[in-house]
Structure 1
Amino acid sequence: MGGSEFLRRLQPLKADMEAAYFRVYQPFHVREEDFDALLALLDEQAQKRTLNLQRTDRQTPWFKQEPAGMRLVYSDAQTPAQVHARAQELKELGVGWVLFSDVPYPYTESLRQTLRQRIGLWHKEGLAVGVDLDVASTPAEDPWALEAIQGNSAMQQRYWMISDPKLASLFSPFSKEKENGDFLWLEEIQQYVYCHPQTGGWLLDYKNPQVLALMLERFCELVSSGADAVELKHLDSMWKECKAQRLYPQVPDLFALFAAAGKLVCPEVLVLGHSEAGAKDLQILSQRAPAATGLIDAASMINGWNSLATRDTKMLQGDLVFHALNSSAIAVHPLGADQGVVWNFNAEAARMRGWDPDCHRQFLMDFYTGQALGSFAEGESDRESGRCYGTLASWAGCGRALDGHEPYELENSCRRILLVQGLSLALRGMPLLQDGDELGALNDASFRLDPKKEGDRRWLQRPVFLDDQAQRRYQPLTVEYRIFQSLKTMLQVRSADPDWNEGQEQVADVGNDAVFAFVRAVGQHRLLFLFNFTESPQYCSLTSLFNKEEQARELLTGRRICGSQESLGLKAYEFLWLIVEA
């Protein structure tokens, strides 16, 4: 790529990049030359792009079509035969890309070669590939960390290191249960290093501008492996102050700089931010980043699960009205969280419903671990971090229904699965399935038999792929058949409509808080979505949805609804995808 092409890409981005850079680093006395050096680094990385990858840069980015994705664990499906078998299943379903979790950063040639080969296998199957990058920390075996522990002061300055225990305890309180809080004492260099509470990785100190430059360089090197998307994990932990808060104001600017770097070096690669913050903070992240930047919309997922537990959709409605992601962003809608679900719902909205936020958070933890009265779910939680773990099917009640041989409850659990999948696919953006969601996979406790995994509850919701279970997707009357074929139909309907993701969602008032309804319209193309979040039949008013002269066609069943009807009944956990016709 020539320098003129880089300058062409830089022109619409430079002002926002410069503003973001100096908002973060002006208190640390950076100069204009430092920002210019950062741009020079990105220019150099752009020149390094191989000819083959540069050719893809000139094509329409694959993510413009906003296909459905599937999150997989990097260590699974390693051989060509395994990849082929899994890819055939995903393509049959209608999935267009896979997103790998737990990708070890390739800082050796051996790791780089393995990653390129793995990505190449999926590319041969016609699927785009995403990988994750921890932007907040590195593992203790990282070359930077190894040099730091050997006394390299420059490497030590890349990490959150403190020698004074009193100062360290201001950031992460020391206690009897956690003697050093989230800090690890390094005897060799007489320093505390701040560790990520979930991964144990050493937290990077982004107050050092050099850390940003070095991590952007790593980001570009990771992209050179042939990845089509990069998920920036642990955005919330990129910045630390004594006063704890979910998302520090510097994080949206740092995220914007990573996203802009992607637009400059590899515009065909989707940069995907992953934050566990609430809807209001996610909205800020989406507003600060360049157009066509991806963002995991964890808020809609949390609100969906909250609506199932409470049979109330008000919080879901409120966040869609007041805290929707920027329309220029690509919202990626998961059904679960690979790191476990943290209940960061809108606390103000909870108070307006009469719920104390802390008590309601505890209720949701109890509900989705099967401990609350009336719960249908099975899962596990980590009381210290407040995270809940479990597969979609287990949270929806499939496990309990199968164990109890209760056909009525099994029917309801299947309806819950399809309801939340239907919501994820209906929202504007890209749905992201978890491995096993398409087959109704249950919690897998076998990870406790593996000494390397037994302490990591994430593996509870990472079931081992079994070909026998996958083959049941062809057997009528099985759970696998019902979920797979229903999901396949929804994905076909979604992909067949070229205007599916056009327009913004507008919440519709149907006079019933148990029903979530929204409209998305562009020109004469108007889609209407209705979701009953209860196990009881519900009725909703149609007068505010369309005129008497109009009628609507249900896209999944072909059912027709006349505008002359004043109300519409929805069965237990029923949802409708409607297109309004004159």
Structure 2
Amino acid sequence: MYEQISHSLLNDILVELRQKSKPQNLQLFYTRLGANFYAIYSLFHTLYGNRPDFKEHLRNLVETLMRQYVNRPSHLRKMDLEREKDHNWFLSQKWVGMALYCDGYADNLKGMLSRLNYLQELGVNLVHIMPICDCPQGKSDGGYAVRDYRKIDCRFGTFKDFDKLVASMKKRDMLLVLDVVVNHTSDQHEWAERAREGDKTYQDYYFIFDDRSIPDIYEESMPEVFPETAPGNFTWDEKMGKWAMTVFNHYQWDLNYQNPAVLIEMLDIILFWANHGADILRMDAVAFLWKKIGSSCQNEREAHLILQLMKDCCQVTAPGVLFIAEAIVSPTEIIKYFGEDAINAKECEIAYNATYMALLWDAVATKKAILLNIGIQNIPQKLERATWLNYARSHDDIGLGFSDADIVSAGYEPLSHRRFLIDYFTGNFEGSLAAGLAFGRNLETGDARISGSLASLAGLKHALVNNDANATSTAIKIILLLHGMILSFGGIPMLYYGDAIGTLNDDSYLDDESKSTDNRWAHRPKMDWNRAMLRTQPGTVEYSIFCAVKKMIAVRKEIPAFADRNNRELLNVDNPHLFVFSRFDQINNSPRVLVVGNFDDEPQPLKLPPLQHMGFFQYELIRDLLSGETLHVADESLICPARSFYWLQA
């Protein structure tokens, strides 16, 4: 629909910008801008239309888009065109990711270049390099307290090193994921420093208050993110003589998106990294983008409007770039970060499937898939052109974010069940071999989250310390079971560095004063490349895990049914220990793949007659796609080994 008001305003803006800029070949830019401008104008007007400087800010927005389009390298513009033609490219089963810290994985960016072969050997072709922007030493929050968005931290290297790494990744057909910390900056960022010096323009970039009257009203409804280490949501700045909103840590000042200048600045930063070769941008802490008195200041409607606006603007300048929503919230809320549309992701094309991750760990602890089956059924259906990021571990803690209603439906009492899980994974439950750590414990409620590496949570640390061969075997099976579930579920699997060789908790963080109070550093280790070399030696733990994960990845890439096209069917079976679902190929109409996961310590039967009535196992012989083993299904049931899984096809 042609909309006169917005396009008349756009014409005025473009006339002004043409008079200021040198002639450029902007045909594609104008086409995309025209196609998206009504949506951009509408969103911008909804957020900022009541301001007298609305038109001035809108002009600045368009100028930012044009300038960054002109700056976009020709090979990235070519990539944009290719991805516009194949707009479902990211739904393919060929993508397998890994998240890593640059300095933890390879010391620095230069070292990363020489370690790409490890990723290729494993089959990883999508690499999330955790934040590399300049941060203050000791007050970096693992890179999420940014001091300069356009400068690489000297500990990691230079832009020359970064550009070499990106060029090598492109040649290897590897995708690059980078973080943009959109919710807050370091209190040492230039904007914060200028605010501290009394510059009203930059004080308006944040939530700054002369006294506690307004902050106290906010606090009435705002929860604490880190009650142990960063209680409250406001910090007094002595030099400024004012209070700043600091939801995460006292040295991270929350940005004020009620100011359109903040949105334009952040959009400029997003496009800056898109133009430096990022294929996917992980938008950090998006649930917190809009603050409103009387609310929790999370998941507000305006936060979604901001993301929609950022996405529409990116579609104009860098349409080949995708967004990940880092929103670790309830299933009913996280689904909204794809955007409200029947098909297309209007906000972020990718979101973390945190609920699936937490449910998998629940199944590990209970040895049952009851809550897992219920919780998955209650995750709303995602959009067609959107996908989940499925993971077993990440740099962050594990939050037990499934709903109380689902816990009750599974036959548990919510409070006691969560306490059981915390006790189980911290090794404080009889029979548990897990070696995790309680994180962010709330002394009033007893609630906590869980830190620890995948291998330590699976019991491998305890098994190796005690030289227990049976426990070691069980831990390896749990590690592989979790990988088997994330690689087959539907979406982009995101492995975590070190997990493919069974990396254990690293206690060295306790010796670093800036890290010692944050036990998440236990699962942010330095990659042990001597241990990694053991992946080539049969009989070692590293060999067992690495080779199995490598084979899973290779097989996954050959199975079209594992592409993510809303082609998964969850199956209810009469065995509480089993998690069973089918994947089907809508395009090539190839045979279905039946995924069966057994979370129990004993072999479990899968009764076949009910599945045969649903069209499965109509043949006497089926094949496990991973082992290549042929299974006979003439009997009434199929036995799934303990803590193991099958990918089955007739």
Give the structure-1-normalised TM-score. 0.91
1:298: Cα distance to partner? Answer: 1.4
Q: Which residue of 2 aligns with 1:326?
A: 383
User: How far 1:216 moved relative to its partner?
Assistant: 0.9
Distance in 1 (CA, whole Å) between partners of 2:596 and 2:231 is: 50
Report matched runs for 1:239-318 at 5 Å: 239-241=290-292, 242-244=294-296, 246-288=298-340, 289-290=345-346, 293-318=349-374
Q: Does 1:83 align with 2:97?
A: no
Measure, in 1, the Cα distance between the counterparts of 2:38 and 2:574.
46
Q: Is the 8 A contact 2:150 2:269 kept in 1?
A: no
- C-alpha distance after superposition, 1:129-148 (max 9, x if no partner): 22111110000111111111
Report the CA distance shift for 1:451/1:137 in structure 2 as closer, same or farther (over 3 A): same
Question: CA contact under 8 A between 1:509 and 1:544: conserved in structure 2?
Answer: no
The correspondence for 1:411, drawn from 473, 497, 501, is 473
Contact 1:502 1:522 in 2 (8 A): no
Q: 1:74 aligns with which of 95, 102, 110?
A: 102
Query: Which AA in structure 2 matches 1:316?
Result: L
Aligned with 1:75: secondary structure?
A: helix
Residue 526 of structure 2 is matched in structure 1 by 464
- Are residues 1:512 and 2:535 paired? no
Distance in structure 1 (CA, Å) of the matches to 2:646 and 2:252: 45
**Match for residue 644 of structure 2?**
574
2:200 paired residue number: 153
What is the match of residue 488 of structure 1? 550
Per-residue deviation, 1:37: 5.2
Asked if the contact 1:502/1:521 (under 8 Å) is kept, the reply is no
Query: Mean Cα displacement is larger for which, 133-142 or 278-287?
Result: 278-287
Pair 1:57-2:61 in alignment: no
Corresponding residue for residue 540 of structure 1: 606
Between the aligned partners of 2:230 and 2:498, the Cα distance in structure 1 is 39
Shift of 1:58: 2.8
Identity, % of aligned positions: 26
1:237 aligns with 2:288: yes
User: Are the aligned partners of 1:292 and 1:328 in contact in 2 as well (CA < 8 Å)?
Assistant: no
Displacement after TM superposition at 1:396 (Å): 0.5
Q: Distance in 2 between matches of 1:352 and 1:209?
A: 45
Distance of 1:410 and 1:135 partners within structure 2: 42
Match of 1:209 among 247, 260, 266: 260
Whether the aligned pair in 2 keeps the contact of 1:123 and 1:129 (CA below 8 Å) is: no
Distance in 1 (alpha carbons) for counterparts of 2:535 and 2:423: 32
Number of equivalences: 580
Please give the alpha-carbon distance, in whole angstroms, between the structure 2 residues aligned to 1:424 and 1:309. 17
RMSD: 3.0
Structure 1 window deviating more from structure 2 (388-397 vs 278-287): it is: 278-287
Structure 1 residues 115 and 367, CA gap change in structure 2 (3 angstroms): farther
Deviation at 1:352, TM superposition (A): 2.1
Which shifted more, 284-293 or 369-378?
A: 284-293
Structure 1 position 144 matched with structure 2 position 207: no
Q: How does 1:529-568 map to 2 (within 5 A)?
A: 529-545=595-611, 546-547=615-616, 549-550=618-619, 551-561=621-631, 564-568=634-638
Alignment partner of 1:455 out of 508, 511, 517: 517
Q: Are 1:372 and 2:429 counterparts?
A: yes
Q: Letter of the aligned partner of 2:76 in structure 1?
A: L
Q: What code does the residue aligned with 1:90 have?
A: L
Distance 2:304 2:550 in 1: 36
SS in 2 for 1:441: coil
The more displaced of 332-341 and 485-494 is 332-341
* Equivalent pair of 2:113/2:168 in contact (CA under 8 Å): no
Distance verdict in 2 for CA 1:23–1:317, change over 3 Å: farther
- Which secondary structure does the structure 2 equivalent of 1:530 belong to? strand
Offset, 1:155: 0.6
Computing the radius of gyration over CA atoms, which structure comes out larger, 1 or 2? 2
Q: CA deviation at 1:248?
A: 2.5
Give the residue type in structure 1 aligned to 2:304: P
Q: Specify the alignment match of 2:584 in structure 1.
A: 521
Q: Does 1:346 align with 2:346?
A: no
- 1:433 aligns to what SS in structure 2? strand
Structure 1 residue 156 displacement after superposition: 0.7
Following TM superposition, by how much is the alpha carbon of 1:34 offset from its aligned partner in structure 2, in angstroms?
A: 5.4
Instruction: Tell whether 2:424 aligns with 1:361.
Output: no
Which consecutive residues of structure 2, in runs of 5 or more, have no partner in the other structure? 1-23, 134-145, 443-447
TM superposition shift of 1:215: 1.0
Deviation string for 1:145-167 (max 9, x for gaps)?
A: 11110111111111122223132
- Alignment-mate amino acid for residue 83 of structure 1: M
**Matching residue's letter, 2:119:** L
**1:123 partner letter:** A
Shift of 1:490: 0.3
State how far apart, in whole Å, the 1-side matches of 2:50 and 2:627 are.
59
TM (normalized to structure 2)? 0.82
1:181 pairs, out of 217, 232, 254, with: 232
Summarize the Cα distance change of 1:301–1:18 in structure 2 as closer, same or farther, 3 Å threshold: farther
- Report the Cα offset of residue 403 of structure 1: 1.1
Q: Out of 569-578 and 289-298, give the one that drifted further.
A: 289-298
Change (3 A) 1:32 1:320: farther
The answer to whether the Cα contact below 8 Å between 1:554 and 1:560 also exists between their aligned partners in 2 is yes
